[in-house]
């Protein structure tokens, strides 16, 4: 009987919307660290995108509470929405720290990390778009997200090591350590999203 009742597929639209916002925010972060003029205004744009992301997450939760038949398990929908929200939160947090800590100019390591974040966001987006059809090609994209997370982890270690060797000001070390770590966490959260997608697709295969 339940097979005759159409499932609410709007969830896929909302997941893809969340992913699009992450790509938008990662692009704005990339622009911020490569052109630091008007940094506060650029960080505010990222904050605005993060607010839209919060609204999208709330819409997913609202629909989850009012939909009878969902296209996947309810706990999986909630987990995926939360993990996507986390990615956007950490992008916004990285931008905020660059402004709040009165950074004069982003480092080359910061710029390199922003490149990895953009690539991670796009690979994650490709994985998200496999959900609608339960495309097993998601695995290729999940592997790429994992590779990029490893790249960010290595970049973080190398950047911290170089900074401890070269930076004489302990306050600057503290500032940049937190910024680098926040940016690396973005790629961790992208990997969390990919892992959630993998679990959903394998469960429904």
Q: Where are the alpha helices (DSSP H) in the chain?
A: 10-34, 39-66, 74-100, 108-128, 138-166, 170-204
Contact between 21 and 88 (Cβ < 8 Å): yes
Domains and CATH numbers, the chain: 2-204 (1.20.58.220)
Collapsing DSSP states into helix, strand and coil, what is residue 76?
Answer: helix
Give the model confidence (pLDDT) of 85-138 as tens digits: 999 999 999 999 999 999 999 999 999 999 999 999 999 999 999 998 888 889
DSSP-assigned letter for residue 70: -
Mean pLDDT for the stretch of residues 65-82: 91
SS3 for 17-43 is: HHHHHHHHHHHHHHHHHHCCCCHHHHH
Q: What is the pLDDT of residue 7?
A: 60
Kindly state the tokens that stand for 50: 């993060």
Distances (CA, A) of 162 to 21, 67, 73, 177: 33, 52, 46, 11
């Amino acid at each position: 009987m339940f097979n005759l009742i159409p499932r609410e597929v709007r969830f896929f639209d909302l997941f893809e919307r969340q992913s699009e916002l992450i790509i938008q925010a990662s692009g704005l972060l990339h622009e911020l660290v490569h052109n630091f003029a008007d940094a506060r205004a650029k960080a505010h744009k990222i904050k605005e995108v993060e607010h839209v992301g919060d609204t999208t997450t709330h819409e997913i939760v609202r629909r989850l509470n009012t939909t009878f038949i969902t296209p996947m398990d309810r706990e999986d929908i909630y987990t995926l929405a939360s993990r996507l929200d986390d990615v956007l939160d950490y992008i916004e947090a990285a931008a905020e720290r660059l402004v709040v800590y009165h950074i004069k100019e982003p480092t080359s390591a910061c710029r390199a990390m922003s490149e990895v974040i953009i690539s991670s966001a796009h690979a994650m987006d490709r994985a998200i778009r496999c959900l609608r059809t339960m495309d097993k090609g998601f695995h290729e994209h999940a592997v790429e997200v994992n590779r990029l997370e490893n790249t960010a982890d290595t970049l973080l270690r190398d950047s911290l090591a170089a900074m401890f060797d070269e930076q004489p000001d302990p306050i600057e070390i503290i500032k940049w350590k937190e910024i680098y770590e926040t940016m690396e966490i973005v790629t961790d959260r992208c990997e969390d999203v990919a892992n959630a997608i993998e679990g959903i697709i394998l469960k429904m295969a």
